[in-house]
Amino acid sequence: MYILQCSDGSYYTGSTIDLDNRISEHQDGRGANHTKKRLPVELMYVEEYLSIASAFEREKQIQGWSRAKKEALIQGEFQTLPYLAECKNHTNYRYFKEVK
């Protein structure tokens, strides 16, 4: 599982069994549509898994994360990940209780 930063600053999260080849494909414009339009890309983060299914599952999890949470992961700020996962709108009970 890997995270790329595109030339426009956006992040792309993917998974592969051959990282070097996949990065080459992205750089050559043969990768995902998102990266084709935002070249060049830079590898920011990698996690290795024993199975492609596990890597794909992690990819899908991270794709649902906010930009701030992805950046905390990339920067190794693991202690902030749970905080960044919390809902902070009025539907969150803890938030609502603290505001009152």
pLDDT over threshold 60, residue 94: no
Which pLDDT band, with edges at 50, 70 and 90, does 88 fall under? low
How many independent structural domains does the chain possess?
Answer: 2
> Could you read off the pLDDT of 17-61 as tens digits, one per residue?
999 999 999 999 999 999 999 999 999 999 999 999 999 999 999
CATH code: domain of residue 56? 3.40.1440.10
Q: How high is the pLDDT of residue 100?
A: 44
Please, are residues 34 and 45 in contact by the beta-carbon 8 Å criterion? no
Check whether residue 1 and residue 40 sit in a common domain: yes
pLDDT over threshold 90, residue 96: no
Check whether residue 16 and residue 60 sit in a common domain: yes
Q: Reduced to 3 states, what is the DSSP secondary structure of residue 66?
A: coil
Check whether residue 49 and residue 80 sit in a common domain: no
Average confidence (pLDDT) over 82-88:
77
Q: How high is the pLDDT of residue 83?
A: 87
Please, are residues 32 and 26 in contact by the beta-carbon 8 Å criterion? yes
Q: Which domain holds residue 55?
A: 1-64
